[in-house]
Structure formats: C-alpha cells, structure tokens
Amino acid sequence: MSDDRREFRKHVLRSVFEQSLDERVDRYLSVSHQWVTGDSHFALASAECIELYQDGYFTSCIMVSQSVGEGILKFVALRNGIEPSNYKSRQELATYLVQSRVISQDFADAFIRIWESYRNDFHHMNPPVSGVPLEATAMSNVLDLSVIEREIFECRPGPNGSIVPVNRIYWDVAPDGSVPVFLRLG
C-alpha cells in the first residue's frame, strides 16, 4: 500500500470517527451493562457486542447478542447440572430453568426476546433481515443481555476493594476466594 493511500485512509477514518463520536458516546451511555463479569468463554464476545452497538454495527451486534445469550443460557444450565440438549428448544430450557428456580422470569423473558429477534433470519441471512429495524433491535438485545448478565454475575463490594460474587456457582472461585474477572470499564 502506498504512503499516500495509507494517509488518505487514516484521514477518512479520523473524519468518520470525529463525525460519529457524539452518537457513539450516546449509544454507549444508553445501555447499562454489567461492568465486571466472570472471565468466561463468552465474556469477550459480550464486551464486543456492546462495542458493536456503540459503533453502529447493528447487524453484527444483533448476531453476537443472540450467540452470547444462547451461550449464557447453556452455561447456566451446565453449571446447574442440566444438559441443554435434553430440551427441544432454548425457550423450553429457559422455561424449565425458571420452574426450577435456577433463573428468574426476568432472565427468561430477556433471553426469549433476544432469541425471537429474528434469530434464524440473521444467522442464515434470510431476506426478512432487510426489513428489521436494526438499531432498535440491537439496542433491545443489548439491554436484554444486560439483564441476563447482571443476574448471573451480580457481585457486591467486599473488603479491601475486593468483589464478592452473589451467585458463586457462575464464578470460578479459587481456594483463596479470588476470582478471575473480565472488566468492561468505560
């Protein structure tokens, strides 16, 4: 790549960033997300989902929120000794987890809203995705993901600046009481 082309691309990126900065900040601040979670296999994808929404990549945000939501539901089931594949659908699994008092109805409702936000159409890129209100759907999914994560990874301040997990089953608590965390500060 020539130096002129490289400099031109940098100029374009700076210009786009500066023009969209206020919108990005407003989108980021419009969603209340859990600032610390367990350092699980889906933590990075969840953080990226928030960044995708912030930066206006709504299609990708929707797809990632659906995947993370499903990953968390399966994670919760497995941590509670429940095999997710024993259920016909993810909605049926969520209903069972509510009935078993593993998750709240709010968690299940949030999960089902994410799941029903055109999941198959997005994952298979079916024609109906062209008619989906992308920004509103992405925002709704990110807010619902926040409900789910807040329930699972709720924590309280502990002594000396530590955190105390409320639902220890979802955290990988070490023998000394420490936990690996994923921070999303912003």
Query: For the segment 124-165, what is each residue's pLDDT rounded down to a tens digit?
Result: 999 999 999 999 999 999 999 999 999 999 999 888 888 889
Q: Where are the domains of the chain?
A: 31-183
Distance CA 185, CA 156 (A): 16
- 185 pLDDT more than 80: no
As a whole number, the mean pLDDT across the chain is: 93
Mean pLDDT (whole number) for 8-17: 91
Q: Give the model confidence (pLDDT) of 72-92 as tens digits.
A: 999 999 999 999 999 999 999
Helix (H) or strand (E) holding 24: helix 3-30
What CATH number does domain 31-183 carry, 1.20.1250.20, 3.40.50.880, 3.40.50.300, 1.20.120.330? Answer: 1.20.120.330
| Cβ-based neighbours of 77, under 8 Å, separated by 6 or more | 83, 84, 93, 97, 102
